[in-house]
A and B are shown apart, each in its own frame.
Chain A
């Protein structure tokens, strides 16, 4: 493989990896606080993508505005899902909320089929994102530069919130000990709502960029990226934000590189992530950066 090809693959890999990472962060944050795998997260990702293209095609909003509005609306949807489907089950056995999340996942998929129809929609992409740039022998899609950079900025913003703000302190406290956090005056339900809001906003950002990269919308588009990002979160160490980012990047890079270097295996592209999941669960169940499991489960 030529150097030029390799560089192109690398950009593709970083793009896919950052998109996984952004989704994985939502899984890991919710798990870190509630010990809940939010299986509806992939559908939140899907909604983000639909909302933006609705905004652009139906409401004729400018792209920039449509993106902001779509992220905001998706974020609120995530908060609403928590309020309706998880919060009433806060004191129930953990499995109840998990089952509820599977229900929400199917509900949102089917709602999307009703509202958006099951027919795949083509995404009209702004030209400047897809007009190939040629540097020497390397041909690069501008999108594959924009996505990793934007994702990186979003992750920096997230780390700032988690480590430098008061609600972030509340999140870190709740993730360890909900009851004591309440005794210290942390408004737990509001912080949990905020966590869903942030996780959903990042999933929406990922969904929008995903739809630009792979320009087709369909109601089930969140399923496979959702599962893979979940695997990335487990691989990186569920509960750890840095782990989710690392897991997402590694998964994205490996996926692209395996297809690039071993084209005969391209058909197994999706299976690969699940094999990785099985291996990590056998070898290091806490993931790369995960903390030791406590008796909280």
Chain B
């Protein structure tokens, strides 16, 4: 579904990505793990159209999408839930969700997806008229995921969705990711929580300072000595 080929990105004078190639097959969960500054977020941001590549290719369903403005990437079916949730604190929960559907014009489809999001996150439905900023951290993360789903994406990219959440909520977030995957969404997940993300991932890449140093199925990497030492606390 998504193929990234030898992607180079320079970012504020830094060579942030030094030739990254990843494949995200349709219907799978693929995860990028790695330390801070490894280039995980930059990879997602480049795919989303926020950052310009220096060289390389980003193919989505066989078509190059690099250089597209973010709104066109969203329209094509790739959405990114940014790091830190970034919900709109001054807008109601419903307005936040409707913003996710901004690129769409199919009213019936939007209604259907709203119902679906309410089903996934019943707590959001209870708080529709509340301002986004008044939600708890966990609720905000649900809103961020729900908002991303409202664009009717085929590929959902999530940047550190478990960041800053209590352990119980972290578990819930990963369950949700599995659920939306089972319901047909392809997921590209960036996480520092390597253990949890490898457990749900079909395929995984390990990034170190802008390069992929290791790749394999989630299970393979969980059992890999180097991964265990570097990311799973030995």
Stretch at the interface among A116-124, A129-137, A164-172: A164-172
Stretch from B18-26, B74-82, B207-215 forming part of the interface with A: B74-82
The answer to whether B89 touches A176, judged by C-beta atoms less than 8 angstroms apart, is yes
| A182 adjacent to B102 (CB under 8 Å) | no
Q: Which residues of B contact A182 (CB under 8 A)?
A: 49-50, 69-71
State which of B31-39, B53-61, B92-100, B116-124 sits at the interface with chain A: B92-100
Q: Which residues of B contact A59 (CB under 8 A)?
A: none
- Other-chain contact of B88, A166, A176, A188 (Cβ < 8 Å): A176
Interface presence of B15 (CB below 8 A): no
A180 at the interface (CB under 8 A from B): yes
Quick one: which of B48, B50, B74, B91 contacts A173, CB cutoff 8 A? B91
A177 at the interface (CB under 8 A from B): yes
Kindly state whether residue B181 has any CB partner on chain A within 8 Å: no
Q: A181's contact among B75, B99, B151, by CB below 8 Å, is which? A: B99
Interface string of A169-197 (1 = CB under 8 A from B): 11011001101111111111000000000
B172-191: CB near A (< 8 Å → 1, else 0) gives 00000000000000000000
> B86 at the A/B interface (Cβ < 8 Å)?
yes
CB of B80, distance to nearest CB on chain A (Å): 5
Instruction: Determine the distance from Cα of A185 to Cα of B100 in the docked complex, in whole angstroms.
Output: 7
A179 CA to B50 CA in the complex, in Å?
A: 8
Partner of B99, one of A169, A179, A188: A169
Question: How big is chain B's contact interface, by range?
Answer: 20 to 34
CA distance A183 to B99 in the complex (A): 10
Whether A172 and B91, one on each chain, are in contact in the complex, defined by CB atoms closer than 8 angstroms, is: yes
State the CA gap A180–B98 with chains docked (Å): 14
Q: How long is the Cα–Cα vector from A170 to B80 in the complex, in angstroms?
A: 17
20 A–B pairs (Cβ distance < 8 Å), ordered by A: A170-B102, A172-B90, A172-B95, A176-B90, A176-B91, A179-B82, A180-B86, A180-B88, A182-B69, A182-B70, A183-B74, A183-B82, A184-B74, A184-B100, A184-B103, A185-B75, A185-B79, A187-B69, A187-B71, A188-B71
Chain B residues close to A by CB (< 8 Å): 48-50, 69-71, 74-75, 79-80, 82, 86, 88-91, 95, 98-100, 102-103, 147, 151
Using a CB–CB distance below 8 Å, which chain A residues touch chain B? 166, 169-170, 172-173, 176-177, 179-188
The 5 closest A-B pairs by CB, nearest first: A185-B103, A185-B74, A182-B70, A180-B86, A185-B102
Apart from A183-B50, A185-B70, what 14 extra A-B contacts exist at CB < 8 Å?
A169-B91, A170-B102, A172-B95, A177-B86, A179-B50, A180-B82, A180-B86, A182-B49, A182-B70, A184-B100, A184-B151, A185-B151, A186-B71, A187-B69
